[in-house]
Structure 1
Amino acid sequence: MPSSGSDQYLYGLDDHPPLGLTLLYALQWAMIIFPAYVITAKIAAQALHLAGPTEALFLQITLVCSGFGTLVQTLWGHRYPLVEGPATAHLLTFVSLSPLGMDVIQGASATAAASLALAATTGVMKYVVRLFTPNVVGVILILIAFSLLPHLIPSLLGLDARHTEPSVAVLSVTLALVVLMAILGQHLKGVWKTCNLALGLVVGTVLFSFFDRVNWNAPLTASWLSLPQPWVPFAPRWHGGAFVAFLMTYLAIAVNSIGSLQSMEAVTRPAQADTALRRGLVVNGLCGVVCGFFGVVGTVSYSTGPGVVLASRVASRFPLAWCGALVIVAAFVPKLVAVLTLVPSAVVASALCVAMAGQVGAGLAVIGARRTLASRDYFVVGIPVLLGTLLAFLPSSFIVSMSGTVRIFLGNGLIFGILIVLLLEHVVFGKKSKERAT
């Protein structure tokens, strides 16, 4: 029965809707979030030069890990209606470290994720979080978007394994798709408003089928049922520099999760804030260990939850648990996975541009929220964003020429930007510096 404590929602946080409605709500969540899974898996697969069955297998494992994370978070972790999925911050580090080998990625990612879980369990994380002021959080959100741009440009130009020359026609269509998805996100009503990316992916795939850029044979030849197998063996190798890079990445993931939880608490149950945060970060870390084991991108709590909850008036967390189960089941249906991987990389890049544009706006809002910026803030924010973006656009040939440890930090604009903003915010322009200035 619906909760009687509030007329705001049809079903409150701990209410159990009838099974039929629960499954319907779960399917709705899955349709909304599937594009994000496809997008991040596609970008990672491109960086690893995967194709065909291996790319489909990579997406299968991604679905299993994301569905598992959603199921555990909603029933045991933070216990809020938030979907878990591949983190863009983790994707950037994953891609930048791919030249070092999957064994390095597995070892560094899993140990960094375990560190997050340990910090959250012991209470250390609450002291670390204090370092993440609005300036630091805003810079991280903006840099995640800007650092991803170099990985999107080839796709926006239509470059892939079969097409080695840039295409003006492809670029024109991808830019039009960006505008279309943004317009749909602004003008659609209700739950449809949250489906703008999914609609854009469908429209883009249909359009690009006329450019001979959709492989229709993959769904036809894929089997209906199979057990997902690890796409790489588990053979982790320790690398100190890679561990530090992933540790910084998981700090960014923690900030992202905290923001998502705070947004959901504001529209549901703020009284559980401290417990939800601790349990949520522990599960984030444990899921990251699992993702590291399987060699896929680590997960984070997505921030789309509050919008969907307010639009649908259903705040129950149990449809999310069923959504996680549906995502896991989908991973065992290769034909469905093959259909999802039909989406051309150019269309994926367009959708990601729209999502990252919203993230840039969120970063700016965090920086300027409820305060007047001082002159120091312009440098604390501007320098990391500028330098981090600059490093993200360095030629790959130059990055490869660097030594391994140097490459990890100068070849990853996000990690470098996080280090610089922390240094500027708390040391160079920190409290003591302000006191001396006065």
Structure 2
Amino acid sequence: MDRHTSPLRLSRRSQRAATALLGALALLLTGCPPEDGSVAPPTIDLRKQLEETEQQSAQQAREATQGEAPQQTGPVETVKVCILLPASGASRDQGAETRRGMAMAQAQVKAEKWRKRRINWTEKDTGSTEADAVAAFHACLQEGTPIIIGPVHPAPVTALIPIAAAHELILIIPEIGAAQVDTWTDNLFAISPASTEMARVAANNARKERGMGRAIVLHSSDGFGESLARTFKEHFEADSAGRVVASLPLAADKPDAWASAAIQTALENEADSLFIVGPGEPAKAIAKAMNSDPLRNAQAWFIDWSMYPSVLEAAGEAIQRVHWVNRPLPGGSFEDSFLARYQAQPDFEAGSGFDAILLAAGAIESASSLDLKEIAKAVAATKVAGAFGQGAMVKLGGVTAEDAASYRTIEPMRAPDSEVWTFSGY
């Protein structure tokens, strides 16, 4: 027999109570008149009380064997959530990867029958232009959607941040990336922060954690490179002791010029650290130059734009003096489930999409009411067991983002039983 069909047994406490009642009943039923001739008190029939006690004990035993009784559920509240993803245009592949992660999270949320609030998901195509993204955003507004997730490309993200900040709604951005963030309000959230966070992480690691004092910044001659260079300088010089001795814009298609600039500038300024904002080939040239005399004792920080295999191979003996700033790859049970479902390893976009859905769903469920301010408070307080691990919403460079999905310094490590070096976790 299973626990639902086995005979009921009274607990020892219930058995003792029943025995005591039976004893009292026997004494009262068989009691003799008092010797002084007074009238005996009326006999009390305890059979009904005994039956009630037995019924209560049986009910307690039944509940103990069957577990906790199911909770009563009231009317289900419904919330609309609009998703902005590119289904067409140059960014459609990025949209597709994000959508895969979102689909997994939506399936997980749907399977959680304990939720008291139901979510109606709808999706709008942002294309790959700012105009299409803004049009999709306004379509969500016209449908009365209070929560919007997306978009994913830097240009649409840049365009929508100030628009969303001016409206009464909640915007959750899976990845800010290279988007320009000029304003941020309490109704805006992100999973992965802006790319400028790489510069802050590198500067703090170099200055605060390693005590570097004189830095060179070599960066691409565009808005992206300039913004990271400014952020690095701001944080490296925050204590007034660190100094950026040179910040040079360089052409991304001339890698030899980057190596020459690094060597010459280090020689002239006695620099002990470099921050490199450039693609793979310039990064590879500088990694090789780290073995030259002016840079032999220096350390270098590369961003995610620099693909690490070529950098590590070029670094040679300087391999333990090169550092990479990047986000963690999606992992854990999410990685396993994604691989089983799609037969491919998840990229950053899939993990960010997964976490964005869980963040929204968690906040909707935990909010004290469906008032937008209450939902926004719940988003800020929600912890996500997501694709990047256990994450919480924190302020990163003025942006509210998930700490587990943010940038960090990743160190070289030797693969077990091998001469091959990799960056930890990659």
Q: Normalised by the size of structure 1, how large is the TM-score?
A: 0.24
Name the one with the larger strand percent.
2
Q: Normalised by the size of structure 2, how large is the TM-score?
A: 0.25
RCO greater where, 1 or 2, for CA within 8 Å and sep 6 or more? 1
Name the one with the larger helix percent.
1
